[in-house]
Amino acid sequence: MSVDQDAVNLLEVRGLTKIFGSLKACDTIHLAIAKGEIHALLGENGAGKSTLVKMLFGSLEPNAGEIFWNGQKVGITNPGAAKKLGIGMVFQHFSLFEALTAAENIALSLDDGAPIGTIAAKARALSYSYGLPLDPDSLVGDLSVGERQRIEIIRCLLQTPQLIILDEPTSVLTPQEADKLFETLERLRSEGKSILYISHRLEEVKRMCDRATVLRHGKVVGHCNPRDETAASLARMMVGSEVQAVVRQPVEGIDTAPSLLEITNLSRQPATPFSIPLKGINLSVRAGEVIGIAGVAGNGQGEFFEAVSGEVLQQDAASVRIREKNAGGLNITGRRLLGAAFVPEERLGHGAAPRMKLSENLLLSRHATDGKVFVGSGGTVNSSTIYSAAQRIIEAMDVRKSAPDPEAAALSGGNLQKFIVGRELDRKPVVMVVNQPTWGVDAGAAAHIRQALIELARSGSAVLVISQDLDELFEISDAIAVMHHGELSKPMPIAEATFEKVGLLMGGAETGRDEHAAEVA
């Protein structure tokens, strides 16, 4: 669409500034969003995007600057005021109560006092019409990250906003789900709604967005029409330099390398009515290789990660072997002591304790494996040693922060992801299992993480990556397997893999499990 620049903008900010201590997270930002446009907000992790939109949604109060809505100056002092104006937001980090159902979570955000049955019916109908199917009666705690994202999107749309702020909306969606979301956004645009779109997936920015504003270190560094740019030129505007391409050198002799992670006939009954049973999974990851696991959200990837990481123990100790030692009966610490490292899908609350400092989170995950370094003979914590190790990780992963040792919750999503991945890479593990390694991470940081995983494998470790990003898996994997309804296909060598073949498996084509794989008893 072409945006009428002479018309009154739906939203305009002038000189908006937010300061945290000595850090100017947003520095005199100017931004205008026209009616009926999809406007991209681009920038590296820590560039100020999340801070800016939190001020627009009333979650943060600016130190300086003005906000105009339909040409009138307004004060947005809290999210309730934003909603009354007609601003809705889908946050990157979900704001859901796990003990409540999807419908109950949605009801908490609505002011009409409608019965829960009515709300559930509306949510179900809306979710299916937009191609994001949702069971309103399901407990949030039993849902995958992708399914939780659907709740956030449907909850926002039920409030009929004029401006929708979307923070990394497709980061946990499959390509098919993302396509459905794009259809929804185009329909909303045709109805005169405006969308502020934050994403690190630059190809979808080029596809969907009419204009883009680029932030770097809290300042606006440029505006453009994304369709006139390439993904590389957009990335260059964001980071101020060329983004290095990921290089995956072929590995020789992998068939004779030792298997460092062996999963044999791994089955698991569903823990809840909404969980996916695992059915006779067999997989071997050898020294020097990266195995990728693809799949639509909610097909057992979370249950599989829990089993491999030791969050859930197995009755058959030999069903999971690490470095030729039975590990099925060992907890996370026991498996870490064998040289394994794990990065879960959900970083805030699962990968890191939100209200604890980065150094304290480092101690939580490394006290057993690095006890002699981090803890003295009398049980005294060596705070300076832990702090130094945290700073080493922060520097290696270029983690942007507002304080020397901030709480985990104070970091942007992408920066926290960089720290958690770096925390595990810093151990130089023999086995590395990562679930969604670059969710919500900017192009430069994503390339850094992917290259680091490849290099860890090439140094002799076994790396297992679970990801919904097919581009990522094709970029880093030596072979790709697909998870569907709790079953795992045989790994397909990357030289033989295509998007079509993997997509068919993701959609439920024959998984090709080993014939001797047992069904769940």
In tens, the pLDDT along 195-216 reads: 999 998 898 999 999 999 999 9
- Structure tokens, 162: 């004029």
Residue 1, classed as helix, strand or coil, is coil
Whether residue 377 has pLDDT greater than 80: no
Whether residue 482 has pLDDT greater than 80: yes
Residues 6+ apart with CB under 8 A from 168: 92, 198, 199, 200, 413, 439, 440
Per the CB < 8 A criterion, the answer to whether 489 and 482 are in contact is yes
Residue 194, classed as helix, strand or coil, is strand
Task: Report the DSSP beta bridge partners of residue 433.
Answer: 342, 464
d(CA 224, CA 234): 9
Whether residue 470 has pLDDT greater than 80: yes
- Structure tokens, 186: 């185009």
CATH number at 11-239:
3.40.50.300
Determine the straight-line distance between the first and last CA of the chain, rounded to whole angstroms.
56
Confidence category of residue 4, pLDDT binned at 50, 70, 90? low
For the residues of 204-247, what is the DSSP string, one character each? HHHHH-SEEEEEETTEEEEEE-GGGS-HHHHHHHHHSSPPPPP-
Q: Check residue 453 and give its pLDDT.
A: 96
CA 424, 427, 432: angle at the middle one, nearest 5? 50
Whether residue 10 has pLDDT greater than 90: yes
Task: Report the DSSP beta bridge partners of residue 286.
Answer: 259
For the residues of 416-470, what is the DSSP string, one character each? HHHHHHHHHHTT--SEEEEESTTTT--HHHHHHHHHHHHHHHHTT-EEEEE-S-H
- Structure tokens, 287: 């020294």
Q: Check residue 245 and give its pLDDT.
A: 82
Q: Which region holds residue 311: left if phi is over 0, alpha if psi is between -120 and 50, else beta?
A: alpha
Q: Smallest Cα–Cα separation from 328: which of 350, 345, 311? A: 311
- Structure tokens, 337: 């002591």
Class of the 244-339+429-521 domain? alpha beta
Q: Tell me whether strands 492-493 and 87-90 are parallel, antiparallel or unpaired.
A: unpaired
Residue 146: how many CA atoms within 13 Å on its side-chain side?
25
Q: Check residue 71 and give its pLDDT.
A: 94
d(CA 362, CA 373): 12
| Residue 152 CB coordination number (10 Å) | 23
- Structure tokens, 401: 């922060």
Whether residue 515 has pLDDT greater than 50: no
Q: What is the mean pLDDT of residues 42-71?
A: 94
Helix axes 383-397 and 413-425, enclosed angle (nearest 10) = 110
d(CA 354, CA 361): 9
Whether residue 6 has pLDDT greater than 50: no
Q: Check residue 513 and give its pLDDT.
A: 45
- Structure tokens, 383: 């705070």
Whether residue 514 has pLDDT greater than 50: no
**Strand order in 72-74's β-sheet?**
23-33, 11-20, 64-69, 72-74
Residue at 30: amino acid letter: H
Digit-coded pLDDT (tens) for 318-359: 999 999 999 999 999 999 999 999 999 989 899 999 999 999
Q: Check residue 521 and give its pLDDT.
A: 35
d(CA 115, CA 117): 5
Q: For the chain, give every residue range classified as CATH 3.40.50.300.
A: 11-239, 244-339+429-521
Task: Report the DSSP beta bridge partners of residue 166.
Answer: 90, 197
Query: Looking at beta carbons, which pairs linking 97-100 to residues 24 or more positions away fall under 8 Å?
Result: 97/140, 98/139, 98/140, 98/141, 99/139, 99/140, 99/141, 100/139, 100/140
Digit-coded pLDDT (tens) for 393-439: 999 998 988 889 999 999 888 889 999 999 999 999 999 999 999 98
d(CA 140, CA 148): 7
Per the CB < 8 A criterion, the answer to whether 417 and 249 are in contact is no
Q: Check residue 7 and give its pLDDT.
A: 62
- Structure tokens, 116: 């829960």
d(CA 36, CA 2): 10
d(CA 320, CA 431): 12
The average confidence (pLDDT) of the chain is 89
d(CA 283, CA 340): 16
Task: Report the DSSP beta bridge partners of residue 283.
Answer: 263
Residues 6+ apart with CB under 8 A from 5: 34
Q: What is the mean pLDDT of residues 454-461?
A: 96
